[in-house]
Amino acid sequence: MGDSGTRTPPGGAGTDTPTPWGLLLLLMALTAIGPTTLNIIVPAIPALTHRLGSDTATVQLTVSIYLLAIAAGQLLMGPLSDRFGRRPVLLSGLALTAAASVLAIVVSTVATLILARVLQAIGASAGIVVGRAIIRDLFDRNRAAAMIGLVATVMVVVPSVGPLIGGVLETSFGWESIFVFIAGTSLVVLAWTALTLPETAGAHVSEAGREGFARDLARLGANASFVGYVLVAALGSATFFAFLGGSPHVVITLMQHSSAEYGIWFAASSIGYMAGNYAASRVSTRHGIDRPIWWGIGIEAAGVAGSTLLAAFALHWGAIGVFLPQAVISFGNGLMLPGAIAGAVSVRPQAAGTAAGIVGFAQMALGAAMTQYGGTLLAGAASALPLAILMDAIVVVLALSFAPLVRPVSARRSA
């Protein structure tokens, strides 16, 4: 089975075409709905607890279960987009998110609210996974990495402003306004998509329909390069999620900084990820995707090594000793992840939706596990060293996964 990632897809664009900013803005909007809807309701949890006569821990399930549902939803929406086309799946997903948001306004029990949130997540997952498949439909592998790098910046920016939007809405108009906002935004993006986005899958749709999800899944799973790229995407993201789970204990409990200070430092360190995404968008068209992945792994390794040294010998440096190495790690993440995603969805372009769904699910599923494990590991720790060692181990496994599974492009061409 050859790797078609080095060929431009029919009707697609190579490395010399201008950046389609209109399409990119639409894909950013589609991608943003999922992470925005994830945590926009956090400020309204006390009001929802009172409204539904429940307790805080139960209402908080509307956030954690949403994350699991958006991960599982990508496994559903990706293959459906291969079978029926990108447009119908996107439009249906946006309509489902809007309808579920209306349902959330009229709920009377926590169970119904959780159901509404699950439906929201499944619908919103379409924007994330199908957006990646659309990019691969239109661009060759290297240019796809550049486009994914630009679109991925919203995955960092949007979660930072979601709670702010939710807090303003809840304070000004009540908790119901949050779900009105989600429904309205989903409908606006739905109209934008319906009016401007053509079907991009082309002949891939009929081919996927004949062969089916099971065969696509088997062929992808048997391809070592696909497995390697998926592992890079999942393990690369795992360092961030481990940090997300363990760093509050280090910064707030051990260093006695306030939650607000932690939030400011965390937001500042995310600039590293955005810078890495931008760098990926610049270098992937020139150097391909594998070389930036190796650069990203090397930068992550330097970052976790610095984190380990500072955790062991320089705890008195305070929050900067935690977040400065994390900014380096985040830069490496931002540099490698667009190439890993582009590589995974390029192994079998006619199953790009299925491949994107598997990548997204792997990232979020492992991320959720690492967030939980990082928090548990650090719960009784006296320093940040256990967290740093965990991140060291993740990067070692990351490098050992990529090296034997993904052959250089020159080797693939000569095979």
CATH number for the domain that contains residue 374: 1.20.1250.20
What domain count does the chain have?
Answer: 2
Q: With a cut of 60, say whether residue 375 has pLDDT above it.
A: yes
Four-CA torsion 337, 270, 188, 112, nearest 10 degrees: 90
Q: With a cut of 80, say whether residue 243 has pLDDT above it.
A: yes
Asked whether the whole model's pTM tops 0.75, one would answer yes
Q: With a cut of 50, say whether residue 413 has pLDDT above it.
A: no
Better pLDDT: 414 or 312: 312
How does the average pLDDT of the chain come out, rounded?
A: 84
**Confidence tier at 234 by pLDDT (50, 70, 90):** very high
Q: With a cut of 90, say whether residue 321 has pLDDT above it.
A: no
Return the SS3 of 31: helix
Q: With a cut of 70, say whether residue 270 has pLDDT above it.
A: yes
DSSP annotation string for 99-152: HHHHHHHT--SHHHHHHHHHHHHHHHHHHHHHHHHHHHHHB-HHHHHHHHHHHT
Question: What confidence score (pLDDT) does residue 204 get?
Answer: 55
Listed range (47-61, 92-106, 217-231, 284-298) with the worst mean pLDDT: 47-61
| Domain match, 336 and 301 both | yes
Range of the domain at 346: 217-405
| Domain match, 398 and 279 both | yes
| Domain match, 248 and 395 both | yes
pLDDT by residue (tens digit) across 139-197? 888 888 888 888 877 777 777 678 788 888 988 998 999 999 999 999 999 999 999 99
| Domain match, 113 and 250 both | no
pLDDT by residue (tens digit) across 97-153? 999 999 999 988 999 999 999 999 999 999 999 998 999 888 888 888 888 888 877
